[in-house]
Chain A
Amino acid sequence: MYRKTVLAKKLLAAATGLLLTTFSGILSADDPFKIGFVYVGPVGDHGWTYRHDIGRQAIEAEFGDKVETTFVESVPEGADAERVIRKLASSGHGLIFTTSFGYMNPTVKVAKAFPKVKFEHATGYKRADNVSTYSARFYEGRAVLGTIAGMMTKTNTVGYIASFPIPEVVRGINAFTIAMRKVNPDATVKVVWVNTWYDPGKEADAAKALIDQGVDIVTQHTDSPAPLQVAQERGVMGFGQASDMSAFAPDAQLTSIIDNWDNYYVERARAAMDGSWASEDVWAGIDSGMVDFPEYGAMVPDDVKAAADVIKESIVDGSLHPFQGPIKDQSGKVIAEEGATIDDGTLLGMDFYVEGVQGTLPK
C-alpha cells in the first residue's frame, strides 16, 4: 500500500527511515520536506483520487528535491485511516493531506497528538490550529454544464447519474437544473441513484436506462468514464466528471468538470515550508482554478460556447450566483426570492430537489 514516489530515493529512504524517525526533530535544512497524502481510492480511478494525485505531482514538479511526497491509497474511512495518518505524522511528514470526508475525525484526533504537523482535510468542517479544511464549489461548474445541456437537449430531458444522496451531490443536481431551466424552461432532469462512487458496469447500466427513457444528454456524479462511453455508443452526448474524459468519448463529451487541486496544493506546501501556513477554511470555485474545464467538444456550437463562457465569467466576477433566486422546490414552494441567493449554510445541508427535477429524493 505504501509507495515512495521518487524511485532513486527509495533505497535511501528505506535505509535511513529509522534514523529519520528518531531524529526527525533535529533534521538539517537540507533534508527534503516530507508531505503525506491519504487517498480513499486507487490512484488509477481516473476520478477523485487520480486528480488528488495529480496535485501531489504538481508539488513535486514545483519543488523538486526540496520535497519528498508519500501517498497511501485505498485507505478505508474509519479505524484504518487513523492508523495510516498517525504513521505518516510520526514518520517525519510535516504536512499531511487527507483527501476524503470520512477522514475528518481521525485527522482531527491525530492532529491533537502532533501539534507541529500541519493537516489539510478535504471536504470536512472540523478545524484546529494545525488542521485546515478545503473543498471546491463544484456546483459552480454544474451551472456551466446545465447551461450547455439546456441549450443542446432536443428531447428536453437530461439524465443525471448520482452516487449517494448527500448534500454535495444534491447541490450539484440542483445547480445543474436551475442553470438548465434558465435557458430552457421546458427541460427536466431525470435522476438515477446508483449508490456507488465507482462501478463502471453499474454506471453504464444507469446511462443505458436513462437513454432508453428518452434522455439525450447524460451527466454524472460518479467517477468512471463508463456513462460517457455508453453515450458515445448510443449517439447521445454527456459530460465528464473530475477529469477530462474526452479520450473515452470524443464525440460525446460536451465538456467536463476538472477537479484541479494543483495550485492549492503547491501554495499550501510552500506556506508549510516557509512557515506562513495557518489554519483556514477554503471553499473555492471557478475563480480559484479549483473548478476547471477542458476544451469544449467539437459538437458544441459557438453560441452555446459563448453562453457557457458568459456563465463562467459571471460566476468568477460575482455577478451571478448559481443559487440566485427565484428558486422553487419541487412542490413549488419558494426557496429564494428574486434577487436573493441561498446561503452557504443551506447549500452545505441541501436536502431537497428544486423544480425541474423528476422523482423524489431518497432520504
Chain B
Amino acid sequence: MNETILLAILTIITAATPLVFAAIGELVVEKSGVLNLGVEGMMLVGAVSSFTAVHVTGSASLGVLAGMFAGVMLALIFAFLTLNLQSSQVATGLALTIFGIGVSALIGQPLIGVAYEGLPKVQIPVLSDIPVLGRLFFGHDILVYCSIALVIAVSWFLKRTRAGLILRAVGDSHDAAHALGYPVIRVRYLATLFGGGCAGLAGAYLSMAYAPMWVENMSAGRGWIALALVVFASWQPSRVLFGAYLFGGISILQLHAQASGTINIPSQLMSMLPYLATIIVLVLISRDQGRIRRNAPASIGKAFHPTT
C-alpha cells in the first residue's frame, strides 16, 4: 500500500508541475496590473513549439527553450495590443487563447502521430536509491525542480527586491508609480513576457514530459485552471505551489479511488472542484477588504495611458 501511495504522489507531481509554471507566470503578470487571459493559448503554442524543436533537433533543452520563446512571442503580441494600443485586456486575452489554439493546430499538423520518449529523468547515483525518500525527491525530470525553484525565486523577487517592489507598485497604482518616475509600460512589458515564457514552459512540460506527444488542444483547460489558481492563491507564490499540488492531488487521488474501487465520488464533481474552490476563495477575499488590499493588485486589468 505504501508503494501505491508513493506512486500516487509521483503522479501528482507531474500533474501539478504545468499548473505551477503557468500560474506562477500569470501571478507576476497580474501583480504588475495586467490580466492576461491567454494562458491556455500560450501553453498550446509553447507545447507545439517545444515538440517541434525536439522532433527536428532531438535536443530536449532546445525544446524547452523553443517552448518558452513561443510563449514570449505570443505574450509580446498581447503586450503590444494592450499596453501600446490600449485594447481591452480581457478581450485581447480571450482572443489570444483562441488564436493560440488555432495557430498551434496549424504548426502541429505534420507532428500528428509522431512519438517522443519523454524528457529524461534526473538520476543521482546514491541519493536516488534511498528507499522511499530517494524516489520521492530524486529521479524526476529537471523541469519539476525548476518549477519549485521558480516559485521560490518569484516569491523572493516580489517580497525582497527593489525591482519586485516597483512591479507591485506599478500593479497597485500605475498613476502613482508613473508620477514617481517608474517606467510603467516597460515594467508591464517585462512582466507580461515573463508570464508568456512561463506559460510556454508549462506547455513544453505537457508535450515533452506529461504526455510526450503533440495532439491538438492538448492542454485541455489547464490554462484556465492556472488562472483560477492565481486567484485561489490570492496572489501569493507559496500558495500557488500549494494550490497546484492540491488541485493536481485531488484529480489524481480521485482516479486512484476509482481504480481501487473504494470510494465513489462522481468524477464530474472532481473536474469542477478547482473552479468551485476559486469561487469560494473569491467570495471569502471580497468579504475581507483587508486581505484584498494586502495582496490583490489594485489596478489589475486597467489600461494605463501615460498622458492622462
On A, residues with C-beta under 8 Å from B are 41-42, 44-46, 50, 159, 190-196, 198-206, 208-210, 212-213, 215, 224-226, 229, 233, 247-249, 358-360, 362
Contact = CB atoms under 8 A, between A and B. Distances in A.
Nearest to B114: A247
Interface in B1-45: 4, 7-8, 11, 14-15, 18
Interface string B214-234: 011111111000000000000
Given A190-B259, A193-B258, A226 B8 contact: no
A192 B215 contact: no
Nearest to A209: B255
Nearest to A211: B7
Nearest to B205: A201
A41 B266 CA distance: 25
A190 to B, nearest CB: 5
Contacts, number: 118
Nearest to B5: A212
Interface in B113-128: 113-115, 118
B268 A195 contact: yes
Most chain A beta carbons < 10 A, residue from B8, B212, B266, B268: B212
A137 to B, nearest CB: 26
B216 A200 contact: no
B215 A200 contact: yes
A331 to B, nearest CB: 15
B220 A196 contact: yes
B256 A45 contact: no
Contacts of B139: none
A226 B258 contact: no
10 interchain residue pairs of minimum CB distance:
A200-B211, A209-B255, A199-B220, A42-B216, A212-B7, A226-B211, A213-B259, A359-B261, A44-B216, A192-B258
Nearest to A41: B216
A201 B222 contact: yes
A204 B211 contact: yes
Nearest to B10: A208
A50 B206 contact: no
Nearest to B3: A212
A44 B258 contact: no
Contacts of A190: 259-261
B220 A213 contact: no
B254 to A, nearest CB: 9
A50 B211 contact: no
A227 to B, nearest CB: 9
B224 to A, nearest CB: 13
A226 B116 CA distance: 11
A208 B259 CA distance: 10
Contacts of A45: 215-216
A213 B4 contact: yes
Nearest to B8: A212
B204 to A, nearest CB: 14
B255 A206 contact: yes
B258 A191 contact: yes
B112 interface: yes
A109 B14 CA distance: 46
B105 interface: yes
7 contacts: A44-B108, A190-B259, A194-B267, A198-B220, A204-B211, A229-B115, A248-B115
